[in-house]
Amino acid sequence: MPVLHNIAQLATCPRGNPQNDAGLIANAAIAWEEDIIRWVGHAPDLPPEFRNEPSIDCEQRLVIPGLIDCHTHLCFGGWRGDEFALRIAGATYQEIAEAGGGINSTVTATRAASLGQLRRKAATILDRMLELGITTVECKSGYGLDLANELKQLEVYRQLNQAHVVDLIPTFLGAHVVPKEHTGSRDRYIDLLCNELIPMIARENLALFCDAFIEDGAFTGSEARRILSCAASHGLGIKIHADQLSTGGGAELAAELRAVSAEHLEYISDEGIEALAQSGTVAVSLPLASCYLDEAYIPARKLISAGVPVAVATDFNPGSAPSFHLPLAMTLACIHQRMTPEEVLNGVTTVAARAVCADDRIGSLLPGFRADLALIDAPSLNHWLYHFVPNACLKVLKNGKWI
């Protein structure tokens, strides 16, 4: 049973804790057996049976649960650096999409890429995420938008989940936008989602969740209600891209459908906040998207005050958030969302785990939880998020094994 000792601060991030309490233990030790944590506490209290076990000296550093990026669009063809330049010059995300760029241009590039090309590209990104201390990644489809190409993206995730040490949690986002070939026949596209794709994806276990983007230029609330109700009837969990660029009733729909999470929420209404608090839906904040689009940040203080758990994720994608740097998102969440370091750490661990229905096994460093953790080269959580460096993660333990 290996042991880590001389930990300056260990964040246990207990499931169900108030968001501002990351369960920090000073002068800590932790022991695990195979892939499960067995003991966590103050170093002087380490039980005798662990004292002669192989032990690693953490030299007064920080230990945290393996990070969970609970909202990404990991698999896509091409990039959209041209749009970055256009936005700097003053064009908006919506204007670029209307002019033929945006999500539909990534759909063209993703359709043109082979499964092998997409898998190699996503695997390289997963390698880099792991170096940052990320051990679980939710990943959405939504750049295929037809039967063959949505299945191709989900197949990339299925293969990578077997081949790569990072755990993937796939989400079907066929309702990302209406693909170009269906602009005049939206209902036919929604029929395709409801009658063919959702039943097949659920039957073959290719996704655990179904997501929909409610926005001008994407889907209306009533279209999303139809798609997501169908997904729920096939046993998929529900997520919604809600209120990102305008207040569109997405949060209220998430509450009505008992969604696991509502994501973005930069323009959530007070009624939406109240609805999420009632339904127990997790709010997933995506500060990199706000930063890159120079848009509003989520009203995290209002959500937390109302009792809504707030996760933090990257939204990694080629358009609105072309960075997978979750620690950067964490520092932005502190500064712009006014979340404390403890709130943010819970947001990328146990609350993020709740956003993917896995908070009973990951996201907390407590006995019985999976032995996924990261050793961070900082003396405390506060110092880590304040003194931002390219990568402070020194070592990652995944399923009880050092990477």
Chain residues that interact with ligand NIG, rule: CB under 6 A: 73, 102-103, 106, 213, 241, 244, 289, 315, 317-321
Would you say the C-alpha torsion 222, 227, 229, 230 has a positive or negative sign?
A: positive
- Residue 110 binds which of Fe ion, ligand NIG, none (CB < 5-8 A, kind-dependent): none
* Contacted entry of Fe ion, ligand NIG, none for residue 244, CB cut-off 5 to 8 Å set by kind: ligand NIG
Q: C-beta of 92: minimal distance to ligand NIG in Å?
A: 12
Element (H, E) at 148: helix 147-163
List the single partner that 213 binds among Fe ion, ligand NIG, none, CB under 5 to 8 Å by kind. Answer: ligand NIG
CA 232 to chain centre: 20
Q: Is 266 in the site for Fe ion (CB under 5 A)?
A: no
Q: Looking at residue 180, what DSSP letter applies?
A: G
Q: How far is the CB of 51 from ligand NIG (least distance, A)?
A: 49
Q: What angle do CA 151, 156, 157 make, to 5 degrees?
A: 100
Specify the residue, 243 or 342, whose C-beta has the smaller distance to Fe ion. 243
Report the residue count for the chain: 403
- d(CA 319, CA 296) in angstroms, rounded, equals 17
Which candidate, 250, 247, 254, places its Cα nearest to that of 232? 254
What is the spatial distance between Cα 12 and Cα 14, in angstroms, rounded to a whole number?
Answer: 6
Binds 364, which of Fe ion, ligand NIG, none (CB < 5 to 8 A, cut-off by type)? none
If DSSP codes are grouped into helix, strand and coil, which group holds residue 48? Answer: helix
Q: Are 151 and 198 in contact (CB under 8 A)?
A: no
Smallest gap from Cβ 75 to Fe ion, in A, equals 13
With CB under 5 to 8 Å by kind, the binding choice for 292 among Fe ion, ligand NIG, none is none
Q: Which of 267, 271, 374 is nearest to 330 (CA)?
A: 374
Residue carrying structure tokens 């070592």: 395
Please report how close the Cβ of residue 84 comes to Fe ion at its closest, in angstroms: 17
Which residue minimizes CB distance to Fe ion?
315
CB of 350 to ligand NIG, least distance (A): 23
Minimum distance from residue 383 beta carbon to ligand NIG (Å): 31
Query: Contact 318/293 with Cβ under 8 angstroms?
Result: no
Nearer to ligand NIG, 226 or 241 (CB): 241
Which residue among 155, 315, 342, 343 contacts Fe ion (CB under 5 A)? Answer: 315
Round to whole Å and give the CA distance between 316 and 57.
34
Q: Least distance to ligand NIG from the beta carbon of 368, Å? A: 34
- The DSSP code sequence of 114-136 is -HHHHHHHHHHHHHHHHHTTEEE
Q: Which stretch binds Fe ion (CB under 5 A): 98-106, 189-197, 307-315, 340-348?
A: 307-315
Measured from the CB of residue 320, what is the shortest distance to ligand NIG in angstroms?
Answer: 4
Instruction: Please tell me the distance from the alpha carbon of residue 302 to that of residue 375, in angstroms, as a whole number.
Output: 32
Q: Give 223 or 315: the residue with its C-beta nearer to Fe ion.
A: 315
Q: Indicate the residue among 337 and 364 with the shorter CB distance to ligand NIG.
A: 337
The smaller minimum CB distance to ligand NIG, of residues 58 and 330, is found at 330
Near Fe ion by CB under 5 A, which window of 4-12, 192-200, 303-311, 315-323?
Answer: 315-323
Binding site for Fe ion (CB under 5 A): 315
